[in-house]
Amino acid sequence: MTAPTALAAAEGRLKPAAELAGSPGTAPGPHAATSRHSLEIDGDDRARGRWDTEPIVPRLYYMPRTRSSRVLWLLAELGAPCELTRLAPEERKSAEHLARHPLGRVPALELDDGTVVFESAAICLQLADLHPDAGVIPPLGSAERALVYQWVLFGMTELEAPLYRWVREGAEGSTDSPEHGRFAQSAAALESALEGREWLLGERFTVADVICASVLGSAHSRGLLADWPGLQAYVERGEARPAFIEAAAIANQPRS
């Protein structure tokens, strides 16, 4: 088993699809027109898609600068091999992608048995469960696992949902935003939960931090965390992690 590291772009280990030709898992198929990459972890052949002796790895359908970024971050934390298929914006509404995601959105993850999972938080939880040794998800049934579920759902419903409504209201010129109030309440609650802690579960970094810090990261990048210095510091701690930096090389590519 390879040591968990890197998504790889930094050292040129991100392989274009052309270099993957010849293996069943990567043969040019209906997605040949999309920009495909495979993550190579520490030179591990499995990540290059050489399946002769190795299991098929999942495939992430993604676009840069979207909620796909949190999945890329988690993959880097896990050191997990994964094939990447980058979709062009117009491909999201193609029949092919609508068969993966009924709303034509990204990210979507195809598991090794062909099942496709959408919703970034669900994808992150599933990937964390597939790699228990990485330690980003506590054992099933434990109190810590319950807290991970709590913060993942809080991040998606109480932080992200009002944040994007607030951002939309701002873009529409609204000065009095009820969604700002709702986001502010949740932000204050999270900031106080983090008091004296590095991560939501204490010293242990978990998948809940990937979700919450990535949601808050998009608030921070818009200058919307000025009232919560504790959350700014939390986002900055997350973004200083080597896995985040590796993932950013893919996640922050220009949208084209």
Ligand X SMILES: N[C@@H](CCC(=O)N[C@@H](CS)C(=O)NCC(=O)O)C(=O)O
Applying CB under 6 A, the residues found at the interface with ligand X are 66-67, 92, 104-107, 119-120
Q: Which is nearer to ligand X, 20 or 215 (CB)?
A: 215
Q: Which of 209, 198, 82, 83 is nearest to 135 (CA)?
A: 209
In contact, 207 and 155? CB cutoff 8 Å: no
- CA distance between the termini of the chain: 36
> Shortest distance, CB of residue 80 to ligand X, whole angstroms?
18
4 vs 238, beta carbon nearer ligand X: 238
CA atoms of 251 and 64, how far apart (whole Å): 5
Q: In what order do the strands lie in the sheet with 83-86?
A: 15-16, 35-38, 83-86, 59-62, 108-110, 116-118
State the minimum distance, in angstroms, from the CB of residue 64 to ligand X: 10
Backbone angles phi, psi at 246, to 5 degrees: -65, -45
Rounded to a whole number of angstroms, the minimum distance from the CB of residue 176 to ligand X is 26
CB of 93 to ligand X, least distance (A): 7
Q: Which is nearer to ligand X, 57 or 124 (CB)?
A: 124
d(CA 12, CA 126): 28
**Contacts for 173 with CB less than 8 Å, ≥ 6 apart:** none
* 252, amino acid identity: N
Residue from 2, 3, 40 nearest 20 by CA: 40
CB 60, min distance to ligand X, A: 12
Q: Which is nearer to ligand X, 20 or 123 (CB)?
A: 123
Q: Which is nearer to ligand X, 6 or 123 (CB)?
A: 123
Amino acid present at 49: G
Give the residue at shortest CB distance from ligand X: 105
Nearer to ligand X by C-beta: 8 or 71? 71
Q: Which is nearer to ligand X, 25 or 107 (CB)?
A: 107
Work out how close the CB of 128 gets to ligand X at its nearest, in angstroms, rounded to a whole number.
Answer: 15
Report the DSSP pairing between strands 83-86 and 108-110: unpaired
Nearest distance in Å: CB 226, ligand X: 24
